[in-house]
Structure 1
Amino acid sequence: MIIRKDDITDPSVIQLLLQHVHEMRETSPPESVHALDVAQLKEEGLTMFSGWIDHKLAGVIALKELTSEHGEIKSMRTADGFLRHGVASKLLTYSIEEARKRGYRELSLETGAEPFFEPARSLYSRYGFSVCPPYADYWDDPNSVFMTMVLKKCD
């Protein structure tokens, strides 16, 4: 899989992001949907990455800078035709390494508490994320699970 920084202009990337936001709105109560729309993902401090297999979009992930030492995973999504092919693992590994290169000491994320999100929570746990209290501008929300990991410096 080729992973590259994405400017969010490719129609397939935009479509996958729209699908992601739509599904989050279908799955969680409105006050608990923290998925970013395309315009928000283009804001300063956010970097979108896309993964491609045989010139087809396999998935996306964004890295948001909260502070110079704290980053956040946003908008991680695997395209339907690539589910259960290791795409999410590759995108997550790439983002963790990118966070280390940026000098972040901590990398966090918010995901849903509903059963629908269990595969995502399991993936994040396997990669070293653990449940934590709300961070940044989040609040204690029974529909959200907050996770974080301490990053070691990249040698």
Structure 2
Amino acid sequence: MIDIRVSDPRTSPERELVIAHLAGMHDSSPPESVHALGIDALAGPGLTFWSAWDGAELAGIGALKVFEEDRGELKSMRVADAFLGRGIGRLMLRHIVADAQSRGLTSLWLETGSTPEFVPAAALYRSEGFVPCAPFADYTDDPFSLYFTRAL
């Protein structure tokens, strides 16, 4: 049974998974194309950060940033390596979508990478009703980024 709960990205082991997430983003994209938030930003106002637990083991993380009164952005979705392929990303995504709906948000948006490492993420988002879109908010066209949205 996976337990998803609001968490603090500055605590361990959440902090270590955020650091691994950032390292992975920098390994697959040039610095100017990395849009992942750092630890302090994930703990900042306007963001909710969750962690997914399998017993005492951290299985994944995800965050929601409200960037307009009725729009939100998914941030920092990451599954711990030991839990890849077990549906943790889908559980976290569905949890964030449900939370956004309960807040009265009308749409969710996200940016993800365009290189081969991000193919599973893009497939997950598409399978959960997200559709490709143009850059949104402060994003610009970037060959290393794909953008998606979903009405709620």
Task: Tell me which interval the TM-score lies in, with the shorter structure as reference length.
Answer: over 0.9
2:121 corresponds to 1:132: no
Provide runs of 4+ in structure 1 moved above 3 Å.
none
Q: Alignment length, in residue pairs?
A: 151
Question: Match of 1:28, as an amino acid?
Answer: S
CA distance in 1, matches of 2:23, 2:104: 33
Equivalents in 2 of 1:111, 1:72: separation in Å?
Answer: 11
Q: Secondary structure at the match of 2:13?
A: helix
Residue aligned with 1:123, SS: helix
Could you say which residue in structure 2 is the equivalent of 1:4? 5
Aligned residue for 2:107? 106
Displacement of 1:116: 1.0
Residue 80 of structure 1 corresponds to 81
1:92 CA drift (Å): 0.3
SS state at 1:103 partner: coil
Give the aligned residue type for 2:121. A
Query: 1:88-125 CA deviation, whole Å, 9 max, x = no partner?
Result: 01000000000101111010000001111000000000
Q: Which residue of 2 aligns with 1:123?
A: 124
- 1:53 equivalent to 2:54? Answer yes
Amino acid at match of 2:94: T
**Cα contact 1:68–1:103 (8 A) shared by 2:** no
Q: Is the counterpart of residue 69 in structure 1 residue 77 in structure 2?
A: no
| Contact 1:59/1:88, CA 8 A, preserved across alignment | yes
CA root-mean-square deviation = 0.7
Unaligned runs of 5+ in 1: none
**2:19 partner letter:** L
Q: Does 1:27 align with 2:28?
A: yes
Residue 18 of structure 1 is matched in structure 2 by: 19
Whether the 8 Å CA contact 1:52–1:58 is kept in 2: the answer is yes
Q: Which amino acid aligns with 2:100?
A: A
The C-alpha deviation readout for 1:75-100, integer Å capped at 9, x for no partner, is: 00001111111100100000000010
TM (norm. structure 2) is: 0.97
